[in-house]
Amino acid sequence: MLIEDEKAIDELAKKGYGEKDGKKYLLKIYEALYLLNSNKITIKQKNKTIEFSKLVDVALKKDEEAWTRFLIYRDLRSRGYVAKEGFGFGVDFRVYERGEYGNKPAKHVVFGINEGTKMQVEKLNETLEQIAHMGKEPVIAVIERRGEVIYYKVSKMRFINSKSSFDMGSIS
């Protein structure tokens, strides 16, 4: 989503929304959904206001995980975190500690999974190890069928006779 208003760009950038791309300022679709849903922005196309439901439809046509991304992003923002696009592990975000955006690197990488989604343990373990190898704390966000997001902080642990080095523990 392209933002052209200079005043809006400054305000969005200060709060950790969007990214500068050359001379353009762009919002990710989940950021636009969040800001529109929160009544913090209005979106117009050819002088016509775009409603939230229409933007959701457009987002889902471009990315089948758009709703999942939005739910996690909305939840993280509502808890006071700045979240930026992750490192390509699927539905993932770099999450900055409260008040640290722009001052320190992201501490966590939140990786989202919809409840009931099948995932190979080896693939999950590989993803979690890659995140930990980057020096970030891996956190799994499970989206329940009702849209509630539950977070599981992952810590290293070795099991005898097992290749896996991670165990999941709950965080709030």
The domain spanning residue 143 has which CATH number? 3.40.1350.150
Q: In this predicted structure, what is the pLDDT of residue 1?
A: 84
Kindly state the percentage of the chain with pLDDT values over 90.
49
Same domain, 101 and 170: yes
Q: In this predicted structure, what is the pLDDT of residue 172?
A: 43
Same domain, 122 and 166: yes
The question of whether 73 is a catalytic residue gets the answer no
- Whole-prediction pTM value? 0.85
Rg of the chain, C-alpha, whole Å: 17
Pairing of strands 24-26, 2-3: antiparallel
Residues 120-148, mean pLDDT to the nearest whole number:
88
Q: In this predicted structure, what is the pLDDT of residue 35?
A: 96
The question of whether 133 is a catalytic residue gets the answer no
With respect to residue 95, please indicate whether it lies within any of the assigned structural domains. Answer: yes
- Kindly tell me the number of DSSP H helices and DSSP E strands found in the chain: 5, 11
- The active-site residue, picked from 81, 96, 101, 151, is 96
- The active-site residue, picked from 136, 151, 156, 163, is 136
- Structural domain including 163 reads 80-172
With respect to residue 72, please indicate whether it lies within any of the assigned structural domains. Answer: no
Q: What are 63-78's pLDDT values in tens digits?
A: 999 999 999 999 999 9
Same domain, 101 and 59: no
- The active-site residue, picked from 25, 73, 108, 151, is 108
Q: In this predicted structure, what is the pLDDT of residue 171?
A: 47
The question of whether 108 is a catalytic residue gets the answer yes
Same domain, 91 and 43: no
CATH of the domain at 19: 3.40.1170.20
* CA–CA dist 55, 69 (Å, integer): 14
